Amino acid sequence: MWWVIGGAVALVVVIIVAIVLFISLLGGNGAKSVAEEYLHDIAKGDASAANKLARADSSDFLLTDAVLAKAKHISDPAVTRTLSSRSSDQTQVSVAYKLAGKTYRDTIELDKDDKGWYVSRGLVYQLPYVSSSIAGFTVDGAKQTITSDDSEVSAYPGVYSLGAPNKYYDLAGSPTLTVAAGSYADLKLDLTPSAAYIAEVQKQVDAHYAECATKTAYYDVEDCGIDLSFPSNMPASGSTVAVTVVESPKVEVGDSDSYYQFKIGDGSFTAVLTGSDYRGNPATENLTGRAGYISADISVKDDKVVVTFN
């Protein structure tokens, strides 16, 4: 009698275990099919479809069809293993894919709610940190420049072509960025001021020296950045000076090993000093000048070059 009861209990336990395993397999298969669809969407360059499955944040401006269409896509995506939790609907999915001839492996997570399975942690990777020492860069297809202010920009796996941050910089070569599992690139971008940048700085330097030339006190002119020859027959103080800009100092790109991005030439200035000589008699003296010490902060703000003279 006891043997029969024990057998019945064992049978019930086996049935319960079988039901649990069956439900687990159903859950795993449901998650697996969504994971496979997600992988193939990325491989096809269909960011919109992948975003829908992952319920991605719309603020991630690189997770778009336009950006992914310009990138080299992953290939041969595959689900290699699923691991479902018995205490929740969360499922971990091991995946593999190829990119630029190399195989990558990663794990994504899926969860389930009343709307069905969705990717809660997908194949999105943060881009390398952008140093504040460079102006940033663009990714082909994106509408926004990536700068040091963008600390958590993410993208789908792919090989992305990079460009200059704006019209004021030229980017040497054709740099690319590989975004994939475990791929950490050190961004080394050769950015140099463009002709448009130099022209805009030159315009503001010209305006600065034109303003300096309107000053009538010798030392005010010097403090402004024009180094005048010193008068020999009359004192500089107490005299009036009239400055003419013969040639404004030319703006050039600084040397590659220089701390300063720009440098300026000497330019050419003339001046007439009017006042009294050392005996008190009316006198004038012709002077020459060149660019003296000048300090300025130069930046690009809201797509405009701003030169602030200190």
51 and 129 both lie in a single domain: yes
Residue 12 CA to residue 255 CA, distance in Å, equals 83
| Residue 2 and residue 71 in one domain | yes
Question: How much of the chain exceeds pLDDT 70, in percent?
Answer: 88
Do 201 and 72 share a structural domain?
Answer: no
How sure is the predictor about 256, in pLDDT bands with cuts at 50, 70 and 90? Answer: low
**Left (φ > 0), alpha (ψ -120 to 50) or beta: where does 267 sit?**
left
152 compared with 33, residue with greater pLDDT: 33
62-100 pLDDT tens trace:
999 999 999 999 999 999 999 987 777 899 999 999 999
- In the chain, how many domains are there? 2
How many H helices and E strands in the chain?
5, 19
Cα(245)–Cα(264) distance, integer angstroms: 15
Q: Which residues neighbour 107 within 8 Å (Cβ) at sequence distance 6 or greater?
A: 92, 93, 94, 95
Check whether residue 185 and residue 202 sit in a common domain. Answer: no
**In terms of domains, do 15 and 142 share one?**
yes
Q: Are residues 177 and 247 in the same domain?
A: no
Question: Is the same domain home to 270 and 300?
Answer: yes
**How far separated are the first and last CA of the chain, in Å rounded?**
101
pLDDT of residue 20: 41
Please report which confidence band the pLDDT of residue 257 belongs to, taking 50, 70 and 90 as the band edges: low
Domain final residue, candidates 189, 215, 249 = 189
| 178 and 84 inside one domain | yes
pLDDT score recorded for residue 195: 95
| Token couple for 187 | 């961004």
Which of residues 148 and 48 earns the better pLDDT score?
A: 48
Domain hosting 300: range is 195-309
DSSP code, position 64: S
CB burial of residue 35 (10 Å; 0-12, 13-18, 19+): buried
Does the structure show a pLDDT above 60 at 24?
Answer: no
| Judgement on whether residues 61 and 172 belong to the same structural domain of the protein | yes
Give the pLDDT confidence of 203-241 residue by residue, as tens digits: 999 999 999 999 999 999 999 999 999 999 999 999 999
Q: Which range, 2-16, 52-66, 78-92, 109-123, has the best average confidence (pLDDT)? A: 109-123
**pLDDT at residue 7 is higher than 60:** no
Query: Which residue among 139, 154, 189 closes a domain?
Result: 189
Based on the domain organization, do 199 and 256 belong to the same domain? yes
Boundary of a domain, candidates 138, 169, 189:
189
DSSP string, 246-300: EEPPPEEEPPTT-S-SEEE---EEEEEEEEE-TTS-EEEEEEEEEE----EEEEE
pLDDT of 187: 80
Same domain, 164 and 212: no
pTM beyond 0.85: the answer is: no
Considering the domain architecture, whether residues 77 and 145 belong to the same structural domain is answered as yes
Residue 3 pLDDT level (bands cut at 50, 70, 90): very low
- For residues 307 and 301, what is the distance between their CA atoms, to the nearest angstrom? 10
